[in-house]
Amino acid sequence: MSYRATLLELGTPVEAHRPWPRVVVDREVWWRAALEVAQGHATLLALWSDGREVHMAVLDEAAGEVSIASLACTNGRFPSVGRTHPPAVRFERAIVDLYGLIAEDATDTRPWPDHGRWGVRHPLGAAQACAAEGLPYTFLPAEGPPLHQIPVGPVHAGIIEPGHFRFHANGETVVRLEERLGYVHKGIEGLMRGAPLARAVQLAGRVSGDSTVAIALAFARAVEAAAGVEAPPRAQILRAVMAELERVANHLGDFGAICNDASFSLIHAHCGALREQVLRCSNAAFGHRLMMDRVVPGGVARDLGEAGAANIRALIAYIRQHLPELVRIYDRTASLQDRTVTTGILKPDLARQYGAGGYVGRASGRAFDTRRDVVYPPYDMLRFDVPARTAGDVDARVWIRIEEITQSLSIIEQCLEKLPEGAIAISVESAIADAAGKEATMLVEGFRGDVLAWVRLGAGGTIANAYIRDPSWLQWPLLEAAIEGNIVADFPICNKSFNCSYSGHDL
């Protein structure tokens, strides 16, 4: 029996939830579900709370099915999933900090987003005022006589987001890296509560700026599913055009930045120019360089005109003309290959255990892609490949990105060919006003991997609760594993090859 079938048999499905079942279970079944995930029979997608219940979204990869198990937290407690399944640990620490629920028998009880600076504990649960002087934080130990520690951050040397990295090193070699995140925690889950729809969509688009299209899309699709409406066909295609432009821009930027971290600035300069072209083209086509606030529930906020489409076609031709030479140089420059090949290897087992999405998973043998495996429109009408490799090193992640650019360009071309006439949006206000209490969970493929959005609609066209899980949640811990045994000086290039979002994770 599939994971979902078992869950449905043992629990009570929630009527209001779409399109996949959300099933209320008891502690016993919750625990069994956790074991299933720990044994690798299904993949943990996310673990979150709304204060009353905890929700565990799980993907059955063989069946391509998503299901959610929910447990009511009687007495404010729930059995820890992280105890048997480490990928759940940070999710639980966040739930504990934000809601004050207790994860029973949790192995790691240190705070996560709460740095003791808010002046309040459990801000989304039974909030209590407290001092804002900062909490002490104990890093995990590494033992042995020659070891030394290197603290890095939160403010880093480059133009990057803030986070703290604690290295334990033996000479040049990293013995243990531990991340401490949460510095850019903006409390988005709290800000979503009761937010009018228009504001909630803007918030979603600012969870992680580099994935603004993907996250807004996941959110918009969840709102639409909850309200039982669908964006018109033209909007579906335009959304895909924007999502793929976003993917291309990010992959180009990171390809260049990875080479730059190996001090190879030629590719960086050329990729920077190509990326700039993509942003300018996006601006001309949709009125914003990053296409922020262009995907909205009901459709898209901006139509694509003839000139915009012609611009995009020219852009595709331009990239196709110029990228291959850069790829050739990447492939043939020994000094560059020396830095990327066999550096920062992520083992396939770990990628599978953590359900690593995007290029992180695909470079380590986990060829999952929402666009193909939990398909949503318009990708069911499009032809494309999902590249996959097994080496798991920086080089493999670079190649996946290069190959994905090629695929995305072809997807955009197909979209422009298929673009139907018609409306770019439908009005969703009345449907949403009628759908108070309705819920939905959606999965969308961003450039980093699968983005999950869960929404519960409130009264009068508001959002009662919303949760957004950026792919970075499941990729950050893997960076710790990938850097082990590498030299400290290779950390920047490994980090860039993962390029996890701080903001998307800290929420």
CB 403 within 8 A of CB 248: no
Which residues form the interface with ligand SF4 (CB under 6 A)? 206, 209
* Interface size with another protein, residues (CB under 8 A): 53
- Contacting range for another protein; rule: CB under 8 A; set: 7-15, 151-159, 309-317, 482-490: 151-159
Taking alpha carbons only, the member of 250, 267, 418 closest to residue 333 is 267
100 touching another protein, by CB under 8 A: no
Taking alpha carbons only, the member of 135, 137, 47 closest to residue 94 is 47
CA gap 227, 456 in Å, rounded: 10
Taking alpha carbons only, the member of 155, 117, 156 closest to residue 134 is 117
Encode 232-244: b = buried (16+ Cβ within 10 Å), e = exposed.
bbbbbbbbbbbbb
Single out the residue of 162, 194, 232, 287 in contact with another protein (rule: CB under 8 A): 162
The site partner of 207 among another protein, ligand SF4, none (C-beta below 5 to 8 Å per kind) is: another protein
Return the number of the residue (378 or 504) whose C-beta is nearest another protein. Answer: 504
**Min dist. Cβ of residue 255 to another protein (A):** 14
369 touching another protein, by CB under 8 A: no
**Min dist. Cβ of residue 209 to ligand SF4 (A):** 5
Angstrom distances, CA of residue 245 to CA of 108, 274, 297, 299, 367: 40, 12, 20, 17, 21
Contacts of 17 (CB under 8 A, 6+ apart): 68, 438, 439, 440, 441
Question: At 482, is the secondary structure helix, strand, or coil?
Answer: helix
**Min dist. Cβ of residue 91 to ligand SF4 (A):** 24
126 touching another protein, by CB under 8 A: no
270 touching another protein, by CB under 8 A: yes
CA gap 55, 125 in Å, rounded: 16
CB 422 within 8 A of CB 238: no
**Min dist. Cβ of residue 133 to another protein (A):** 10
The DSSP secondary structure of 253-271, one letter per residue, reads HHHHHHHHHTT-HHHHHHH
502 touching another protein, by CB under 8 A: yes
State the distance between the two ends of the chain, measured CA to CA, in whole angstroms.
36
318 touching another protein, by CB under 8 A: no
CB 466 within 8 A of CB 457: no
402 touching another protein, by CB under 8 A: no
- Contacting range for another protein; rule: CB under 8 A; set: 50-58, 126-134, 407-415, 446-454: 126-134
Return the number of the residue (1 or 159) whose C-beta is nearest another protein. Answer: 159
**Min dist. Cβ of residue 348 to another protein (A):** 29
**Min dist. Cβ of residue 278 to ligand SF4 (A):** 18
Return the number of the residue (364 or 501) whose C-beta is nearest another protein. Answer: 501
**Min dist. Cβ of residue 301 to another protein (A):** 14
Return the number of the residue (249 or 262) whose C-beta is nearest ligand SF4. Answer: 249
183 touching another protein, by CB under 8 A: yes
Return the number of the residue (199 or 206) whose C-beta is nearest ligand SF4. Answer: 206
CA gap 83, 89 in Å, rounded: 8
Return the number of the residue (186 or 313) whose C-beta is nearest ligand SF4. Answer: 186
131 touching another protein, by CB under 8 A: no
469 touching another protein, by CB under 8 A: no
CB 378 within 8 A of CB 240: yes
Instruction: Strands of 162-241 (E only): list them.
Output: 164-170, 173-180
Segment 235-264, which members bind another protein (CB under 8 A)? 253
Taking alpha carbons only, the member of 327, 324, 323 closest to residue 336 is 327
- Contacting range for another protein; rule: CB under 8 A; set: 61-69, 127-135, 392-400, 451-459: 127-135
Beta bridge partners of 72: 53
Return the number of the residue (207 or 457) whose C-beta is nearest ligand SF4. Answer: 207
**Min dist. Cβ of residue 331 to another protein (A):** 11
Single out the residue of 22, 55, 93, 115 in contact with another protein (rule: CB under 8 A): 115
CA gap 277, 244 in Å, rounded: 14
Question: At 483, is the secondary structure helix, strand, or coil?
Answer: helix
Ranked by CB distance to ligand SF4, the top (closest) residue is: 206
CB 424 within 8 A of CB 238: yes
Q: Which residues bind another protein (CB under 8 A)?
A: 113, 115, 117-120, 123, 127, 132, 134, 154-155, 157-162, 182-187, 190-191, 202, 206-210, 212, 253, 266, 269-270, 272-273, 275-276, 279, 289-290, 292, 325, 329, 332-333, 501-504
